Structure 1
Amino acid sequence: MNLRRVRAVAVKEWKETTRDRLFLGLAFLMPVLWLVVFGYGLVMDVENIPFAVIDHDHSQMSRDYIYRFMQSRYFSYRGHVADMQDLDRLLTETKIRAAIIVPERFQEQLSGGETVSVQTFLDGTFPLQTDIAKGYIVAINQAFGEDLVSEYVSKLRGVARAEARRAVRPIALEIRYLYNEEVRSSWSTVPALVMFTLMLASPLLTALGIVREKETGSIYNIYSSTVSRTEFLAGKLLPYIAISLFNVGMLWLMAVLLFQVPFKGSLLFFYSASVFFVLCTTGIGLLISLLVQTQMAALIITMVVAILPTILFSGLLVPVASLSRGARVQAHIFPGMFYTDIVRGSFLKGVGLDVLWPDVGALAIFAVVIGLITYHLFSKRPKA
């Protein structure tokens, strides 16, 4: 392989890219815009749930109970309503997603040691968020009940409130969140979105850039030149690899500075592993460009090949371990899953090659296989 000819092809491709301002802007701005849009739009946290209240008791204890929800960051108080008709209207119009109805004689029954039923309505349009909201309500209700029992035991036995609480709750459950101490969904989704953005942008740019040469007819110059297949493919890929690696750095900076995601691993390892993933994604774009003749076809095929597997099988939204056996097999066919493990491991867990070497090795194998396939499919003889 003659490096001077590889350089000549790469320089020619770079000039073609920089000459088209729209394409150049697409190359550098598209990944940034995608990360911003998906990073702010794909929020899995369930907070500020709008709720309203019907308080039939109007007692000090019912106000204390309702205040527990009002002071929680998980709920957003939208006021009291007079009757069920108003409550139904608010729920139907999605102005609230939860409603709490405190019954009459709430304080009287609790003070008398009776059980009280507090009716709660939840908007079940989004089942996952609804189930999480239910957990919040159950936890707040349980905490209120424990405080009442602790106060009763404290007065009955004449002991301190803390001792009474220990008697009421003999088993104290201590939960520690590892790797994502603040339980922020952005800490998990944004690193995965780095993978998602590269998985879309890199093959798309590569495919469009090379197919453009087919549409203009300039690729026939390559057919008649002395450039070998390896030199042509390497020269064509180099500019897009360089652009993608620059975008890796930009996406890393955005994740750390804009979205405040902690990076606990080695930047050198992360960037080195990203090289293998970029080789895979640009290789996919090159492979698509060899199979189609128009930029529209390249755009459609790239979006289908990149988006669907990435969303479904990469671990972006659902852990791969939670998928069915068939889905897990499909997940291992695409490089996105392996790079997701690398990105999340580098950002949140601070692990490196000693732990993630199987994922890095898988990406290296993908890059080699895709390279061999493209080499086999490319021919310097134009198809009739």
Structure 2
Amino acid sequence: MKKRCISVALVLVMIIAITGCGKKSSSGGSKSDSDLKVDTSENTGDNKVNEDFSKNVNVNRASDYAKNELQLPIEGIGRGISTEVKADKEYKIVVMTRNSTNPYMVGMWAGGAQAGEDMGTDVQTLAPATQDSIEEQVTIMESLIEQDADAFVIHPSDSKGIQPVVDAANEKGIPVVAIGTAPETGAFMRTGVDYYETGYLVTKELCEAAGGKGKAIVLEGPAGVQNMEERKAGILDAIKEYPEVEVIASQTANCKRAEGMQVMENLLQGEKTADELTIVASCNDEMAIGAIQALKAQNVEGVFVGGADASKDATQAVKDGDLYVTYNTDPYGSTYLAVAYLVEYLNNGTLPEEYFVPFPAERHDPLITSKNVDEYMNDFKWYD
């Protein structure tokens, strides 16, 4: 099958040719007829499926059941993910990311494309031309709503800024899955990782490695970005459990490698910082790698650095002994999972059992260290 092209002002468009149905899993975990369903015979007008399903739920934390026991409509993680879910007809599902350059976003695009191929439907991948522009993300969604998109998977730059256009999708009965940053209301479901959990677990690992004492620097994501604030909260809560670990600086480097290097260079100029520093907890791998570059340039050793995403460069840094720990956020697999849930709903109205279904979660052993990095790189990685 061949994708339809869309002209959207100021938008980068990747159109991926879909050649047919691909892999099947032996037990894809599809829900039975007894599962919760809604009537989709009139999927326009005052259908509030998104709003009704996400109302009065915690958009930031996942339940223990969702993390460990909930049956998923897919098998595997990373590039090994597969499903038995098939589209009853060709739907138009849009995957919209914050930008098209960050490794995480690139992973989302690839996962969406593979999901479309495997499930036999049209998945289109889009991002704003101006990186992280919420205004352009809104324009993209407005245009696609008017062009009768069937569903959205979104990674918005701002939870409040995206809200009006999510409301517009609600008014037309179009389901919206949020990955990363979720709108306050109106999402059909949320997937991707539990960001608080990622920050907490990575930082616990760092504190244990440092013997529960020393000085720590926190590298934050962009101020006010929901998922980065959640991860920072997890980092700080973990550190609170170690009274002998002191945070001497917490500063944004905007999730960028170059800024991570620059911020760390500046912080290392402080009196005794280089001598006393034992932990750098970063809200993503890119900033962590930048921090490592700065530490190496100034010959600072004995610092345990942690990040999140388990990207190609990050896992190589773990293998090389530079990055102590990262967390597999698997944007490829989480986007694939989001499409599977949407196809199930578009086929017959099947709703997810829970609003927030984290992926990967505890069941997937997401912490990547020197102990399991080879296995991850060989069998479970999400990057190409």
More helix by share: 1
Per the TM superposition, whether the score is higher than 0.5 is no
More strand by share: 2
What is the TM-score when the length of structure 2 is the normalising length? Answer: 0.21
Larger Rg: 1
